[in-house]
Amino acid sequence: MSQTAFSTLNLKPDLLSNLSSLGYEAMTPIQAQSLPHILAGKDVIAQGKTGSGKTAAFGLGLLDHLNVKRFRVQSLVLCPTRELADQVAKEIRKLARAIHNIKVLTLCGGMPFGPQIGSLEHGAHIIVGTPGRVEEHVRKGFLNLDDLNMLILDEADRMLEMGFQDALDTIIDAAPERRQTLLFSATYPKQIESIAKRIMHKPVMAKVESTHDNSSIQQHFYKVDSNEDRMIGLRLLLSQHRPESAVVFCNTKRETQEVADDLEHYGFSAIALHGDLEQRERDQTLVRFANKSASVLVATDVAARGLDIDALDAVINYHVARDTEVHVHRIGRTGRAGSKGIACSFFSDKEHYKIALLEDYLDKTIEGEELPPMHLLDQPTHRPAMVTLQIGGGKKQKVRPGDILGALTGDNGIAGNQVGKINVFDMCAYVAVHREVARAALKKLENGKMKGRSFRVRQIRD
């Protein structure tokens, strides 16, 4: 039997058989490194990034320890963003399919507070949430952690970066001393070391070297002398590669917005993602990028966490990241799932020390390459294949994806294959349709009815 077979672990049979039905045949490196310790009840620090299978590593651990008959909060997973919390909850539900009556509840900021109190009154075994909101429920007495036996900090580095330290402390104070604590983090700065010392008991370190293997990613570096050059360089690269989905990383919120505005001004379909957006704007931005109606997302590192996009064609570092690990993490987002991606980085003389660090890390000299030829700027810019329509009704109005699809395609409507992703939120919904049929689709939704009524519909300008 292979050492990475799940059957080498002492997992509950229900969990094990479900894994093969999910198509999980062998453990990923992070799972192989951490699961034996997690199942043995030890505290574990694991360095794993999104895509490594870390969610299943702690998800299987907490499900294995869970006593379903005891209807109390037994595990708590804290995540930096709502998107990540939603993904984690989804993965846990998937892993728990074979066990009946497991209740997983998400408690995230940016969502109405009242209904969460109601859900807590109904009870749950597992809570997945963001620190600020979970802390508020703990502080106000709606969430009792007396029966907690497993605490998981996912993307702990980001939670600290986002200023959640105090919230984390309050939550941890409310949890029993005798518990198992797991900490997942892409990077391992000093701050993490000190929090681990305070809250963990003899932790085992599970580090996977292969998270640093970016050999399938082609890296390119371009030297620029001024900010104008940087913007021209960015336009040239986007004009040459014409990516369907690319992320441009900036180091500050302000620059993120400026770069997105400039790109838009030059005719690119670019949007900014940073911490100053309101939840609604953030949702909309993520929806448009994921449904391929916006092709360039300009983001800060913090904001881009929890971004669940399988295949980025390109990652562009408008500035080289402040430290090497962040750089490696950024470029690891391209070329996922076996597809080849490119990573491009701009640097100026001033940033040479960061390049020197990268050279050490990559063990090779980095030379600036020539940018693509200037005449590319005369070409029309790439337009995304899809456009997004926004519908003024959502879950509260009982609108479901099927209603939207039905309204679009029924009765001489547009073809089903012209419809892309559908996202339904509480008060609104978004649907992506192919650009050529956007007008027809808009008409169809405006004139048709869903749940017996008509809704306001508009095309989001791009």
Footprint of ligand AMP (CB under 6 A):
24, 27-28, 31, 50-56, 91
Q: Tell me the C-alpha to C-alpha distance, in Å, between residue 333 and each of 185, 249, 404, 415.
A: 16, 11, 32, 33
Q: Which is nearer to ligand AMP, 9 or 371 (CB)?
A: 9
Least distance from ligand AMP to the Cβ atom of residue 412, Å? 38
Q: Which is nearer to ligand AMP, 63 or 358 (CB)?
A: 63
Q: Which is nearer to ligand AMP, 52 or 388 (CB)?
A: 52
Q: Which is nearer to ligand AMP, 117 or 311 (CB)?
A: 311
Please identify the residue of the shown chain whose CB is closest to the bound ligand AMP: 55
Token pair in block for residue 87: 């993904």
The candidate with the shortest Cα–Cα distance to 383, out of 290, 293, 289, is 293
Least distance from ligand AMP to the Cβ atom of residue 342, Å? 22
d(CA 257, CA 348): 21
Contacts of 417 (CB under 8 A, 6+ apart): none
Instruction: Note whether 171 and 145 are within 8 A (CB).
Output: yes
Q: Which is nearer to ligand AMP, 158 or 253 (CB)?
A: 158
- Determine the angle formed by the axes of helices 131-139 and 113-122, rounding to 10 degrees: 70
Q: Which is nearer to ligand AMP, 304 or 445 (CB)?
A: 304
- DSSP secondary structure of 291-359: TTS--EEEE-HHHHTT---S-BSEEEESS--SSHHHHHHHHTTBS-TT---EEEEEE-GGGHHHHHHHH
Least distance from ligand AMP to the Cβ atom of residue 299, Å? 18
Least distance from ligand AMP to the Cβ atom of residue 166, Å? 27
Q: H/E element holding 14?
A: helix 13-21
Looking from the CA of 145 toward its CB, the CA atoms found within 13 Å total: 24
The candidate with the shortest Cα–Cα distance to 239, out of 378, 376, 375, 369, is 376
Contacts of 307 (CB under 8 A, 6+ apart): 83, 247, 273, 286, 289, 297, 299, 333
The candidate with the shortest Cα–Cα distance to 207, out of 91, 40, 52, 8, is 52
Least distance from ligand AMP to the Cβ atom of residue 180, Å? 19
Q: Which is nearer to ligand AMP, 56 or 160 (CB)?
A: 56
Q: Which is nearer to ligand AMP, 50 or 285 (CB)?
A: 50
d(CA 300, CA 257): 10
Q: Which is nearer to ligand AMP, 57 or 326 (CB)?
A: 57
Least distance from ligand AMP to the Cβ atom of residue 91, Å? 6
Count of other CB atoms within 10 angstroms of residue 462: 18
Least distance from ligand AMP to the Cβ atom of residue 118, Å? 29
Least distance from ligand AMP to the Cβ atom of residue 290, Å? 15
Instruction: Note whether 245 and 298 are within 8 A (CB).
Output: no
The candidate with the shortest Cα–Cα distance to 161, out of 258, 257, 303, 50, is 303
Least distance from ligand AMP to the Cβ atom of residue 421, Å? 17
Instruction: Note whether 14 and 40 are within 8 A (CB).
Output: no
CA dihedral 235, 420, 312, 315 (to 10 degrees): 30
- Radius of gyration of the chain measured on its C-alpha atoms: 23
Least distance from ligand AMP to the Cβ atom of residue 63, Å? 14
Least distance from ligand AMP to the Cβ atom of residue 30, Å? 8
Q: Which is nearer to ligand AMP, 28 or 317 (CB)?
A: 28
d(CA 249, CA 233): 14
Q: Which is nearer to ligand AMP, 36 or 368 (CB)?
A: 36
